[in-house]
Structure 1
Amino acid sequence: MGRNLQSTGQLRPVDLAREHGLSTQAIRNYEEAGALPAAARSASGHRGYTSLHAAALRAFLALMPGHGHRTATAIMRAVNEGTAEEAFRLIDESHALLLDDRRTLRAVENALRDLEPAATATEPGGTPGAPGVTFIGPLAERLGIRPATLRAWERAGLVRPRRDPLTGYRVYDAADVRDARLVHQLRRGGYLLEQIAPLIAQVRAAGGLAPLEAALGDWRDRLSARGRAMLAGAAALEAYLRERERA
């Protein structure tokens, strides 16, 4: 650093806080967490901030929407400790997570698109008079998998067939068939059972595939907003890095 911050301290905590509608305690908390560089102290112990701290605060607040509070703090702490490479690694990880989320969304969209409409008549080998109901053998044959695979999905909680009280056979209703089809499509896309489980839970929570399709639009919008927030955070961080170079 080319200048002594104590000799150039011109801003009070309230000056930094006011620009962003924050409390002065928040400013102190951010400094203690390492999101802001350490402030110079006067003889009486009062903190003195500079334009460098103002730029750091802007960068930190801009990073949070795209990276989250914890990662944004870690990024800023790394920069303030002089380990910019660690900050760049954390940013890369966030972008990789966003890319993974985009791939997952695309996989779910493709899986939904590839699914046939849910059966409205009795499945082959099903129970007469029970639309969409079938047993493990016919369902496995229809999906082109082994019955053992369906049993493995059941153990993972991905399908939840009931048991016939008289025979003990697994009975798959229309919702179970839907879940099995979705699992099958996602497995073909290379997804692991533990990655599929939360997606199946979303289908069940949404009440089926049609409500989920609407939720996917919201999911897509959130990913786009996160991507744009990362761009804004990168611009603010670059401005802070340049400010540090000039200091």
Structure 2
Amino acid sequence: MDGSVSGAPQTPLRTVDVARATGYSLQQVRDLERLGVIPPAARSSNGYRCYAPIHLRALRAYRGLAGAVGPVEARQVLAELRTRTVAEAASAINEAHVRLARERAEALRAQRALEAIGAEADRAGPAHQGEHPGEGVDEGEGDWMTITELAGALGVRPSALRFWEQEGLVAPERVTSLRARRYGLPAIRAARIVVALRSAGYGVPAVRETMASLHRLDGLDEARDVLSRRLDQIAVRTVALLQAGPDLAGVVTSAHEPEAL
């Protein structure tokens, strides 16, 4: 609710009113206006800012969107929503939902890959654990993938896979005479886990240590915890985006109703 009554004149809101209603500081409200997150405020005859319910709506929308996609991207999206058509704005918001769904799907694939590695280690027995982690059938994958195919499946650039290879995180299991990389199931599984760990904010040294320890029980447990926390974080971000939905819709529709300002 933005406190307005349909058809009734709206009392201008002061900066302090907006700050109190949204939980932002006075300076944050001014900064977010300067960055284009909220529309420019009208000015009174004495030069003071005069805000309206649309500014409250935009700030609430920004808070939820920032929780879902990060503050930098949220600022960019909110600044652009008012200049786009309704269809373009709706598509931009929908893309955030799609990205979160994609991140969750990839984290779940990484979980399955990790469990497959653990199962293979159990079948191999203590004497052979870690020799060929992850061999076997991985549902949904072929026998081999090229670097382009694997990069596309993971949503990363081929250069990222080359970098991970240099860092000892993921290695192709075959390089043809033309130096074309081919990744088998163990490498595909490892790559999925690397993507999830990197997305969770782990640096290359920490990822390297985790990948090297996957044949150990404690290594598997640590990776399981990381992936579980990753899924929890995605769930929190998804809820934040859902909560921002009505306010985001209000920002979009108000952009085509100048009288609302």
Of 236-245 and 12-21, deviating more is 236-245
CA distance in 1, matches of 2:88, 2:72: 14
Residue 117 of structure 1 corresponds to which residue in structure 2? 121
Residue 108 of structure 1 corresponds to which residue in structure 2? 110
Calculate the TM-score normalised by the size of structure 2. 0.61
Equivalent residue pairs, number = 200
What are the Cα deviations for residues 114-166 of structure 1, in whole angstroms up to 9, with x where unaligned?
Answer: 2212555444xxxxxxxx586xxxx59x7899xxxxxx986451269xxxxxx
Residue 91 of structure 1 corresponds to which residue in structure 2? 93
Structure 1 residues 53 and 121: alpha-carbon distance in aligned structure 2, compared to 1, 3 A threshold: closer
CA distance in 2, matches of 1:196, 1:222: 12
Is contact 1:36–1:76 with CA below 8 Å preserved after alignment? Answer: yes
Is contact 1:16–1:27 with CA below 8 Å preserved after alignment? Answer: yes
**Amino acid across the alignment from 1:204:** E
Is contact 1:78–1:84 with CA below 8 Å preserved after alignment? Answer: no
Alpha-carbon distance, 1:24 to partner = 1.0
Query: Matched residue of 1:117: which SS?
Result: helix
CA distance in 2, matches of 1:120, 1:90: 50
Alpha-carbon distance, 1:106 to partner = 1.6
Are residues 1:67 and 2:69 paired?
Answer: yes
Structure 1 residues 227 and 69: alpha-carbon distance in aligned structure 2, compared to 1, 3 A threshold: same
CA distance in 1, matches of 2:221, 2:105: 20
**Amino acid across the alignment from 1:117:** A
Alpha-carbon distance, 1:29 to partner = 0.6
Are residues 1:212 and 2:212 paired?
Answer: no
Query: Matched residue of 2:121: which SS?
Result: coil
What are the Cα deviations for residues 9-37 of structure 1, in whole angstroms up to 9, with x where unaligned?
Answer: 61100000011232111111111111111
Is contact 1:158–1:197 with CA below 8 Å preserved after alignment? Answer: no
**Amino acid across the alignment from 1:239:** G
Residue 175 of structure 2 corresponds to which residue in structure 1? none
**Amino acid across the alignment from 2:50:** G
Query: Matched residue of 2:169: which SS?
Result: coil
Is contact 1:63–1:232 with CA below 8 Å preserved after alignment? Answer: no
Residue 229 of structure 1 corresponds to which residue in structure 2? 240
CA distance in 2, matches of 1:12, 1:222: 36
CA distance in 2, matches of 1:95, 1:220: 15
Percent identical pairs in the alignment equals 29
Is contact 1:39–1:49 with CA below 8 Å preserved after alignment? Answer: yes
CA distance in 2, matches of 1:43, 1:133: 74
Is contact 2:197–2:227 with CA below 8 Å preserved after alignment? Answer: no
CA distance in 1, matches of 2:246, 2:18: 19
Alpha-carbon distance, 1:243 to partner = 4.8
What are the Cα deviations for residues 65-111 of structure 1, in whole angstroms up to 9, with x where unaligned?
Answer: 11221222222212233544443333233223212212221221111
**Amino acid across the alignment from 1:230:** L
Residue 170 of structure 1 corresponds to which residue in structure 2? none
Alpha-carbon distance, 1:215 to partner = 2.2
Is contact 2:169–2:208 with CA below 8 Å preserved after alignment? Answer: no
Is contact 2:107–2:227 with CA below 8 Å preserved after alignment? Answer: yes
Is contact 1:52–1:243 with CA below 8 Å preserved after alignment? Answer: yes
Q: Pairwise CA RMSD of aligned residues? A: 3.8
**Amino acid across the alignment from 1:79:** L
CA distance in 2, matches of 1:192, 1:121: 25
Is contact 2:68–2:237 with CA below 8 Å preserved after alignment? Answer: yes
Alpha-carbon distance, 1:64 to partner = 1.6
Structure 1 residues 204 and 13: alpha-carbon distance in aligned structure 2, compared to 1, 3 A threshold: same
CA distance in 1, matches of 2:127, 2:245: 56
Residue 27 of structure 1 corresponds to which residue in structure 2? 29
